[in-house]
Structure 1
């Protein structure tokens, strides 16, 4: 009860801040029941006078509420199925920028995390150069035999775990309450959404996971000609501290400096798109926060990515789905595109493949009549998910994260080359993956792997299967000899159910008796 009151207080404060920032002004009250309409009208009475657009109001409210709400907003930007396409687009403008915490706190956190005095770890340790909701980054230097080496040191914000735990508990409480009261909330699985956010934040708060993601990405892309990631300094990395190679490069967002240095912007735009697609299709592991602030170009012309806190993964099935969808739209084979959805199990079998293909054609045909700069793969997938909802396709979080990242990546590429032809750039990567994995050689490899897996299960799992069979035989023999023995909890539950049934039966008999008595009374009168 006390926890519920605390959650109501926190959520009430959040509602007050949203009302002050005018967030409720963007709500269409005609779709709400009368009590909710009245609540919105009351909330608007305390609205702060402002001329800002609704998107900026929401961003301002979430920023005022603190790190947890900023992270919630960024996470919901990847879930248009939950908040709607319009609001998700608004939330994409939310920037994770916070006031830096004190230099002394950062230095003390580094010493505690790494177990050594700061002077033994770094030759110099500068002021923060960037601060976000979970951590901030300092420029430092490490003494080596060849002289000083510049590094970036990411330090977890002190006390952030406690703050996130309190707020996330309130979010869970709100989601459970909503699911109890609303069928739509249950359909959207709001509790699962918040639990996913909780897991994501927990991973982001252990900087060793980000170091591991950097290491994995470096291994995946070591032979790529136009992309690299900073090297991890594992000796100076712990749960609360991450030390990386300092990147001396030009921000991809600084078009003027890129042009002044003579970089080919069209080639860079192609590299951005193809790098992302290689990560998603070839590796099944992609950087899911590729906004311009996280992308740089070094003097060799290579793309360099930073901030690996948010990563996406795609299994073989999802990668095949993505590749065949893209190729289907490129070749206008809508029947095959529809079949892929059914083969992947995303669309229930009771729907018609032909009807689904017709719906996909309605999306694909208009694209082929547009100029190159008007074509958007991200928009295509957004429309596709909208249509698939009509055919009961369940939400796929990994594909939604992929689509959200596509939006960002396309925006970055188009800022470099507004006339970039997405299909032409994407086709070599997509076709290469399909030929390698779904062509004759790919099918032979799949068959070989399948045969090996069957062999391992049959041979390697034989002792386990025999052991399970022996246990099952003993259990059947005991049931035959002694009867079925139920656990105490099961017996108690059956007893409670029986008592409830007896009470209801008795009550029903009393009601029937009273009705009969009343009828007799009426007849006697």
Structure 2
């Protein structure tokens, strides 16, 4: 009876903890969405853009500190979100990335007694009967699991050729935590779906569904072990890459035993230098290896943050450097469908060639741009973007005068926002992998230029696809011929419009400035009417309370008119 009551009390406590965790995540998201909405959307519309800009850095630091504390305390998928943000050195400001960087390493460990209990339950025997020895101090405490060094028993060590291994065990109760976190993310996704600028660009429920599936796969260690072997098979002929072997005899859904491949963390500049390895040389090799996974094999590591990649000193195998990149943690993997892979290859080639038209065509092939979209202006924007900023690395872009970016955004921002972009359902992990890759390369080399890696890789793709190049050339020749045939008819139509006085010439920048002036004039008039009614109401209040109230209530109408958002 006492045992039953104890079990019931424990279940109720867990249920209460679950609800508290769910509510806390939602409160955090709701508050910061509201703050962002107020400062970035409302204040600029009432003439307080300067205030929003002056406080932005401080607000970002405050957000990052609060999220850091939340993620460390709650663990689970919140750590994954923080790790992703900390690796976006190429996009997110340093106020955020610097604060969240520690999340890669500071996840608090679980007591070994809890790890032992779960592992023995999974393996069906005491750990002393399964391993020759186990180090109770973890070598890594991740968001979903914890890793310890161990020695295999002599018989298994002889069969596998391995002695020292890494024994990875799920965090107790992580299944329930992941379920709660996913439920909270679905709720936040529901909020985002109601924001037009978000819903027009992405199917948020579909993206969260994809993330949910990936997260559930990540806590199945049998799935991770199978991914590891598939990844190793894909890159078996690549002397630049190493992958730990799986000890299947000591692996279950919640326990994973792997070859111990611990080496130098890829972003540990001090240890790399001590080993005679130049971090600047590591960056392009890492980028190229990730390109191969995405564009050639179509099966890629979707969580390549610094904690999951080692640089392992090794004899020079003809690659020009005496080290290898060793990947671990294959719980989050992605697959690129054949059609998407073809589009990505075209995109890479177009980017290397600074071909704006080819880039837009590749974006359409991938499914990011709806086929019915009028892409002519986007092609012009991409062509000018390449002409001005093409070939610049992350550090070089930081040195560009911000006014140039503002001028470009003013000229082409409306074009980009007006086009029907969308985020394909299978694209989330691709974006994550490339984002993390870019962040790691930038941390290895502050002046890393992605073009230096893209151009030789794109040239190799072109050599591998000579047949496709010939077909593309033939297709372009056909398009040119068709345009030449249609040219006289188009010229005739143009001359006729000139004769009729119906030719229209659009100047988007002038139109935008005129529209802003009109809106400004309307707001000034609205403000004057609001002030007049409010003052009039205050003046007549001593003599006529009713009229005073009517005037003050009516003053709200021009105020609302002046604060209304501009029409899209």
TM-score normalised per structure 2: 0.63
1:331 maps to which of 353, 359, 366:
353
2:127 maps to which of 113, 118, 124:
118
Structure-2 separation of matches of 1:228 and 1:442: 37
2:464 maps to which of 420, 433, 436:
436
Q: Name whichever of 431-440 and 255-264 sits farther off.
A: 431-440
Measured after TM superposition, the shift of residue 211 of structure 1 is: 0.9
Q: How does 1:483-498 map to 2 (within 5 A)?
A: none
Q: How does 1:182-197 map to 2 (within 5 A)?
A: 186-187=199-200, 188-197=202-211
Measured after TM superposition, the shift of residue 401 of structure 1 is: 3.3
Q: For residues 318 and 442 of structure 1, do their structure 2 counterparts lie closer, same or farther at Cα, with a shift above 3 Å needed?
A: farther
In the alignment, which residue of structure 1 is the partner of 2:3?
A: none
Matched, 1:361 2:383: yes
Conserved in 2, the CA contact under 8 Å of 1:161 and 1:205? yes
Q: How does 1:186-335 map to 2 (within 5 A)?
A: 186-187=199-200, 188-300=202-314, 301-335=323-357
Q: Name whichever of 97-106 and 134-143 sits farther off.
A: 97-106
Conserved in 2, the CA contact under 8 Å of 1:342 and 1:353? no
Cα deviations by residue, 1:451-482 (Å, 9 ceiling, x for unpaired): xxxxxxxxxxxxxxxxxxxxxxxxxxxxxxxx
Measured after TM superposition, the shift of residue 263 of structure 1 is: 2.2
Structure-1 separation of matches of 2:264 and 2:238: 20
Matched, 1:142 2:152: yes
Measured after TM superposition, the shift of residue 202 of structure 1 is: 0.9
Conserved in 2, the CA contact under 8 Å of 1:288 and 1:405? yes
1:407 maps to which of 425, 428, 435:
435
Aligned partner of residue 153 in structure 1, secondary structure = strand
Q: Structure 2: which 5+ residue stretches go unaligned?
A: 1-15, 44-57, 315-322, 399-404, 472-568
Matched, 1:425 2:434: no
TM-score normalised per structure 1: 0.67
Structure-2 separation of matches of 1:398 and 1:389: 22
Conserved in 1, the CA contact under 8 Å of 2:377 and 2:415? no
In the alignment, which residue of structure 2 is the partner of 1:505?
A: none
Matched, 1:133 2:143: yes
Query: Over aligned residues, Cα RMSD in angstroms?
Result: 4.1
Q: For residues 31 and 400 of structure 1, do their structure 2 counterparts lie closer, same or farther at Cα, with a shift above 3 Å needed?
A: same
Conserved in 1, the CA contact under 8 Å of 2:25 and 2:184? no
Q: For residues 217 and 183 of structure 1, do their structure 2 counterparts lie closer, same or farther at Cα, with a shift above 3 Å needed?
A: same
Conserved in 2, the CA contact under 8 Å of 1:234 and 1:243? yes
Q: For residues 200 and 58 of structure 1, do their structure 2 counterparts lie closer, same or farther at Cα, with a shift above 3 Å needed?
A: same
Measured after TM superposition, the shift of residue 74 of structure 1 is: 5.4
In the alignment, which residue of structure 2 is the partner of 1:479?
A: none
Conserved in 2, the CA contact under 8 Å of 1:77 and 1:88? no
Conserved in 2, the CA contact under 8 Å of 1:230 and 1:244? yes
Aligned partner of residue 138 in structure 1, secondary structure = strand
Aligned residues: 414
Aligned partner of residue 115 in structure 2, secondary structure = helix
Q: For residues 125 and 319 of structure 1, do their structure 2 counterparts lie closer, same or farther at Cα, with a shift above 3 Å needed?
A: same
Conserved in 1, the CA contact under 8 Å of 2:462 and 2:469? no
Conserved in 2, the CA contact under 8 Å of 1:252 and 1:296? yes
Conserved in 2, the CA contact under 8 Å of 1:206 and 1:239? yes
Structure-2 separation of matches of 1:73 and 1:165: 18
Structure-2 separation of matches of 1:221 and 1:385: 41
Conserved in 2, the CA contact under 8 Å of 1:213 and 1:308? yes
Q: Name whichever of 127-136 and 429-438 sits farther off.
A: 429-438
Measured after TM superposition, the shift of residue 225 of structure 1 is: 1.6
Q: For residues 273 and 387 of structure 1, do their structure 2 counterparts lie closer, same or farther at Cα, with a shift above 3 Å needed?
A: farther
Cα deviations by residue, 1:394-446 (Å, 9 ceiling, x for unpaired): 11354443333333323333433444442232323233234324635998xxx
Conserved in 1, the CA contact under 8 Å of 2:85 and 2:96? no
Q: How does 1:44-59 map to 2 (within 5 A)?
A: 53-59=62-68
Q: Structure 1: which 5+ residue stretches go unaligned?
A: 35-48, 444-525
Structure-2 separation of matches of 1:87 and 1:267: 24
Q: Name whichever of 229-238 and 309-318 sits farther off.
A: 309-318
Measured after TM superposition, the shift of residue 332 of structure 1 is: 2.0
Structure-1 separation of matches of 2:413 and 2:340: 14
